[in-house]
Amino acid sequence: MKSIKSKIQISMLSVMLIGSVLIGVITALLNASGIDDMMAKTLGPATQMAADAVEWRMNNYWTALQEAAASDIFRESEPDDPELIPIRDEIALRNGFLYTGKMDASGFSSTGYSYAEEDYFQQCKENMEPYISDIMSDGQQLIFLLEVPIINDGRFEGVVYGGIDADFLSDIVVNLSMGNDGVAYILDNKGNVIGHRERSVVENSSNMIEAAKTDPSVMDIAAVNQQMIQGETGFGTYNFYGDNKLVGFAPIDGYQEWSIAIETSQHEFKSTLDRSIMLTIIVVVLVVIATFPVAVLVGKSISGPIRACVIRLEKLAEGDLHTSTPVVKSRDETAELTKALDATLYRLNDVVQDVSYHLGKMGQGDFRENITRTYWGDFIEIEKSIKAIHGSLNDTLRQISQSAGTVADNASQMSNGAQSLSQGAAEQASAIHELSSTVTDIAQNAKQTAAAAAEAGMFVNQAGAQLSTSVDYVKELNAAMEKISTSSSKIGKIINTIEDIAFQTNILALNASVEAARAGSAGKGFAVVSNEVRSLASKSDEAAKATKELIESSIATVMEGSQVVSKVTESLDKTNSIAENVTTKMNVMVKAIENQTSAISQVTDGINQISSVVENTSSTSQESAATSQELSKQSLLMNTLVHKFKLK
């Protein structure tokens, strides 16, 4: 645990240290923020001015070429016409071109060569807009080739071109660098550096966007360059080979689609901030060193008296009320602390002595002396408690003395009653055990009866199911008899038809015989046939009558069978109904037997519980008997002990 002295020292040093650090940090942050704001406000306008300067320079080139493309001499002359040479030289000299010339619609140039396959010619011809080539070498220097289309009645008829020295961009950016480590550069629309103070960067076509695909360390600068080639204006930061850079960038408007950036080194412009931070650290260290002895003296003057009081309070906690209190010569709160501690010890000693005296008397069993000392403050509660304890013990012991004899007598009576209770409980436990055994046997018999009733119910259900099946078969037989009766009726109708046919045939045969007799000898053969037909008709009529009698007999028999089947069906329906009633009653009986079995089980459980309770009661009564005997002995002993106290 830390001491007050160390806390004071640490607190003072901490306050000074934190205050100094906060001041230094706030100052550093304000300075850093001010530098960042200044750079942002400086780089933005400077970059825009540089972009405007390059744009103005390029516009002069474009204007000169556009005027030439609109002139009649360039429209009407061939690229290699001698009269075009002085005009081309004058335009180049007046406007700063290295050279100028014309290409016709097929790409043939003033130089005598065809450039039809070159990208810059194809772009200008296809879009019919001014176009500038990528930076390239003409064999002696790096150049840009500017092309302006010659358009006549909406037709492309060639271009006017001019070559310019690419170094003019580097000359511009050299004068734009800020600080020793600052640099400015210009990018084309593909991200290639086309203007830089170091010519080798331009000659090597440095492109950070492409480099970032294989070198993750230049991802930040590649992201800024990506914004530049997209024509954005802004302010950003990136780390370039270990140095944090601030960069402002702006697009160069016009046909060239370039962008310019000016970057500065944060380390270079924030060197004063680093010196300020170092100076702040030195001041903080000096302040801490100067504060340390002051904190030591202040802590010692406060912690010394407090430490002495702590030592005295520790002795008080150990029960020492006689050692003197430390003396402090100062007049501050520490002196008041020691005086208050001395007064506390005096009054506490006085109270302890008085309480010890009266508790000693009570410890000796003497309650005849009254407590008359008056305490003060919160010690009044101790006074009330001592008086309450004295009076309460005096009254309690007197009542105990009076009750001890009565308790002894009652304990003896309780002992006798407990013995009787123990014997009766043992007899009840035996009877309950026999009853439990009997009920268990009844429960087992009831379970067997329930199982037999359930099995009988199952057989009745099976019989009822079989009877229902028989009823269904009889119903099917009844339906078949009805179909037979119907078919017999139809056969009777057919027999009637056959009788009618036989009757008509007989009449026809009779008529044929009459006609044969009239015909004489010519109708003898026909008469024989008519006789045969009459004989066949008679036989058919006899057979039909015999068949009709058999069918009528069959129909009567079928009707009798149908009536018998109906009676059997009715009887089976009644039997099935009775079987269903029997099944229902059997199910009710099985359910009742199951309920009785469950009730017997519950009775068995109740008897087992009663048996357990009776056994516990028997055991408890035995213990109570033993306890009552012991209580009788202890009451006699208590009566003897109470008489040792001296009461009022």
Going from the first residue of the chain to its last (648 residues), give the mean pLDDT of each consecutive group of 10, the final group possibly shorter. Answer: 62 70 67 58 83 93 94 91 93 94 94 91 93 88 94 92 93 80 89 91 90 89 92 85 83 92 77 67 76 68 68 75 71 69 71 73 71 72 74 73 66 66 67 70 70 69 69 69 71 72 75 74 69 74 74 72 72 72 71 72 73 70 71 72 67
Query: Burial of 219 by CB count in 10 Å (0-12 exposed, 13-18 middle, 19+ buried)?
Result: middle
Q: What is the pLDDT of residue 1?
A: 45
Say if CB 397 and CB 645 are below 8 A apart.
yes
Backbone angles phi, psi at 235, to 5 degrees: -140, 130
CB-based contacts of 468, cutoff 8 Å, min separation 6: 576
Report the distance separating Cα 524 and Cα 75, nearest Å: 141
Say if CB 246 and CB 39 are below 8 A apart.
yes
Q: Specify the DSSP element, H or E, that contains 152.
A: strand 142-152
Q: What is the pLDDT of residue 293?
A: 74
Report the distance separating Cα 612 and Cα 608, nearest Å: 6
Say if CB 325 and CB 345 are below 8 A apart.
yes
Residue 463, classed as helix, strand or coil, is helix
Q: Specify the DSSP element, H or E, that contains 518.
A: helix 379-519
Q: Which residue has the tokens 């109906």?
A: 566
Report the distance separating Cα 167 and Cα 169, nearest Å: 5
- Residue 259, both tokens: 């962008």
| Angle between helix 167-174 and 4-70 (nearest 10) | 150
Q: Specify the DSSP element, H or E, that contains 111.
A: none
Report the distance separating Cα 474 and Cα 566, nearest Å: 9
Q: Of 406, 407, 396, 408, which is closest to residue 647 (Cα–Cα)?
A: 396
- Residue 481, both tokens: 């008899």
Q: Where are the alpha helices (DSSP H) in 71-137?
A: 72-76, 85-95, 119-127
Report the distance separating Cα 250 and Cα 184, nearest Å: 12
Q: What is the pLDDT of residue 552?
A: 73
- Residue 219, both tokens: 């991802």
DSSP 133-146: PPPEE-SSSEEEEE
Residue 364, classed as helix, strand or coil, is coil
Number of H helices and E strands in the chain, helices first, is 13, 10
Report the distance separating Cα 46 and Cα 40, nearest Å: 10
357: how many CB neighbours lie within 10 A of its CB?
A: 12
- The two beta strands, 136-137 and 142-152, are antiparallel
Q: Of 83, 97, 198, which is closest to residue 138 (Cα–Cα)?
A: 97
Report the distance separating Cα 511 and Cα 517, nearest Å: 10
Say if CB 264 and CB 178 are below 8 A apart.
yes
From start to end of 140-278, where are the E strands?
142-152, 155-165, 183-187, 193-196, 234-240, 243-252, 258-265
Q: Specify the DSSP element, H or E, that contains 269.
A: helix 266-269
Report the distance separating Cα 581 and Cα 230, nearest Å: 99
174: how many CB neighbours lie within 10 A of its CB?
A: 14
594: how many CB neighbours lie within 10 A of its CB?
A: 16
Say if CB 187 and CB 201 are below 8 A apart.
no
